[in-house]
Amino acid sequence: MQKEVMLSEEQVRQFYSSHQDEEYFPNLLENMTSGPVLALALVKDGGVEHWRNILGPKDLLQAKNEEPECLRAQFSSGSSNINQLHGSGSSEEAEKEIGFFFPPEQTLAVIKPDTQHKEVILDEIRARGFTVSRLKDTVLSREMAEEFYKEHRDEPFFGQLVDYMVRGPCTMLVLTKENAVDEWRAAMGPTDPGEARETAPESLRARFAKDILQNAVHGSSNQTQAHDKIHFIFGDISSENEAVSPALEAEESFAELKNLQTSRSPSFHELRNQTEVNTTDPEGGDEMTESQQTSPEITAVSDHSGTPETPGGSQKHHDIGLTVNV
């Protein structure tokens, strides 16, 4: 994952809260707010230590004299004594830093009644990097279906839609991922499967929808609707989310990164050339929680960081790293 953002002074103070009393902090603050920051989450075996080795020494003079091929030596700014790249000091630190730059978002997804290939759809949801935070198979009553689609109550198709939604079990899911609402809507494709086959042939509706009514899947239109629909189907789950610490909150992002992991990590230049895709429709049994996979180790990186860092230890499991460049 990658994201380019402008940090405010308050955000920099939050990110570097443990360094605010240091003599160099005013320069660091000025540096980190002087332009856009590029944050990258990196995945690799032993990623914390590997990225820190590539970065080189924190002291720029030492980096240039002792390790001239390291990134900090190559990409130093002649006008600043603040080095331009940051790396997490430990997996615990990286968990917090990835959570800071890539907070997870939740959306409600529905696999509609009579939809074939349900397991294929579930597999694709996970393959696209979503974490299934909640899953429930349920048959909607007519009253529930009417309330669920209340925004369409005045539409001529409302009665047909309700009839369809109550005729069999629906699979209700809470999906967690950065930019989850738009990402899920992009995965579904246009409401009309005919349009979906023309404009998004790999989308779920293009492949599995029968017609505009029986179009396989549903997704919330925006974050407000997602919150309301999740509450309607699953009750109030916000309190437990609010109680989660920044480190634990980031675990959703770790699951996403692990799902997206390939056999090797992209190179530094590949990561710099990647672009972040964001996309933005009218749709908007027993409960289960998906078992968490083994948490990968994490590292974080950022440009414009001259702060002390604690070396990360060698690990045998996957690392996730955050890099921040200004």
Q: What is the pLDDT confidence band of residue 181, given thresholds at 50, 70 and 90? A: very high
Cα–Cα distance for residue pair 56/52, rounded to 1 Å: 6
The pLDDT value recorded for residue 78 is 66
Residues 255, 258, 260, 265, CA torsion sign? positive
Q: Is 202 or 259 the better-scoring residue by pLDDT?
A: 202
What the chain holds in terms of domains, given with CATH numbers, is 2-100+295-325 (3.30.70.141), 105-249 (3.30.70.141)
Among 30-39, 72-81, 122-131, 152-161, the range scoring the smallest mean pLDDT is 72-81
Cβ 117 vs Cβ 209: under 8 Å:
no
Instruction: Report if pTM > 0.85.
Output: no
Cα–Cα distance for residue pair 314/1, rounded to 1 Å: 23
pLDDT at 230 over 80: yes
Cα–Cα distance for residue pair 30/278, rounded to 1 Å: 30
> Within 10 A of 75 (CB to CB), how many other CB atoms are there?
14
Cα–Cα distance for residue pair 287/234, rounded to 1 Å: 9
Q: Which of the listed ranges 45-54, 254-263, 291-300 does the model predict with the highest average pLDDT?
A: 45-54
> Within 10 A of 115 (CB to CB), how many other CB atoms are there?
20
The pLDDT value recorded for residue 322 is 58
Report the binding-site residues: 112, 157, 185, 191, 205, 215
Among 111-125, 210-224, 241-255, the range scoring the smallest mean pLDDT is 241-255
Which own/partner contact pairs does 274-277 have at CB distance under 8 Å and 24+ positions apart? 274/2, 276/1, 276/2, 276/3, 276/4, 277/186
> Within 10 A of 72 (CB to CB), how many other CB atoms are there?
24
Catalytic pick among 19, 117, 218, 227: 218
Contacts for 34 with CB less than 8 Å, ≥ 6 apart: 304, 326
Rounded mean pLDDT of 9-32?
A: 92
Active site residue 218: yes
pLDDT at 70 over 50: yes
Cβ 131 vs Cβ 177: under 8 Å:
yes
The pLDDT value recorded for residue 319 is 41
Residues 5, 6, 11, 15, CA torsion sign? positive
Reading the block at residue 207, the tokens are 């492949």
The pLDDT value recorded for residue 208 is 96
Report the binding-site residues for ATP: 112, 157, 185, 191, 205, 215
Render pLDDT for 261-291 as a digit per residue (tens, 0 to 9). 433 334 333 433 443 333 334 344 333 333 3
Among 60-69, 103-112, 238-247, the range scoring the smallest mean pLDDT is 238-247
Buried b (16+ CB within 10 A) or exposed e, 117-135: eeeebbebbeebbbbbbbb
Q: Which of 166, 161, 159 is nearest to 138 (CA)?
A: 166
Contacts for 202 with CB less than 8 Å, ≥ 6 apart: none
The pLDDT value recorded for residue 324 is 55
Catalytic pick among 50, 86, 304, 318: 86
Active site residue 86: yes
Cα–Cα distance for residue pair 148/229, rounded to 1 Å: 7
The pLDDT value recorded for residue 241 is 44
Percent of the chain with pLDDT over 90: 56
